[in-house]
A and B are shown apart, each in its own frame.
Chain A
Amino acid sequence: RKEVEQDPGPFNVPEGATVAFNCTYSNSASQSFFWYRQDCRKEPKLLMSVYSSGNEDGRFTAQLNRASQYISLLIRDSKLSDSATYLCVADSSNTGKLIFGQGTTLQVKP
């Protein structure tokens, strides 16, 4: 079993749609969680950190459920520019050794 698991998709949605990505992690000792965005053939870039209390950044909302070992990302009012791969990430020891999921591909269509 992979330490961080995501549905690879692809998710094909129309502009303006709301889309949710889910992710599970197996290491209960994991302390920090993130969502990274990766455009085709580019490097991953931090989208947002994920906290138990939930956090929002504009159209993006991330949530962490430690009891279920589950992380989510909600994107509202999807834009064409949101098309990318979204990587769910856990830092099991808070030391910068990041464990990445496979990534979920989002394609927003006009």
Chain B
Amino acid sequence: DAGVTQSPTHLIKTRGQQVTLRCSPKSGHDTVSWYQQALGQGPQFIFQYYEEEERQRGNFPDRFSGHQFPNYSSELNVNALLLGDSALYLCASSLEISSGANVLTFGAGSRLTVL
């Protein structure tokens, strides 16, 4: 039973570029959340997707956008990259939250470096 898979694992971009990160949730999970983890900090919530819609959003600018597909997989897009966007981007999946089963399973992350 595959867990949460993310791609790419590492990537390097330059300021001003755009990036797309991908996530496949754990089998049976239907909700995907994205987190940003800067070095030495805890993960910060970016947004959450359920039924192909953004359900919750953290304190991130509109440069950060996402999408969820009918198969529950998800993408995170970041436009106009800044040096401060360098971080580990974590995808987490779970069952539909209203059931109370809100234990998240994290993927290994995509490490983004912006030069």
Contact A97 B106 (CB under 8 A): no
In chain A, positions 73-99 with a C-beta closer than 8 Å to chain B are 87, 91, 94-99
B58 contact set on A, CB distance < 8 A: 97
Contact A94 B100 (CB under 8 A): yes
Nearest CB in chain B: distance from A43 CB, A: 4
Partner of B90, one of A43, A46, A96, A99: A43
Residue of B nearest to A89 (CB): B42
Q: Is residue B7 within 8 Å, beta carbon to beta carbon, of the partner chain?
A: no
Contact B100 A98 (CB under 8 A): no
Known: A43-B90, A43-B108. A96 touches B102 (CB 8 A): yes
Extra contacts, 18 of them, besides A44-B90, A102-B41 (Cβ < 8 A), are A4-B42, A8-B40, A87-B43, A94-B97, A95-B55, A95-B56, A96-B33, A96-B56, A96-B94, A96-B102, A96-B104, A97-B33, A97-B58, A98-B35, A100-B35, A100-B44, A102-B40, A103-B41
Interface of B with A (CB < 8 Å)?
31, 33, 35, 40-45, 48, 55-56, 58, 90, 94, 97-98, 100, 102-104, 106-109
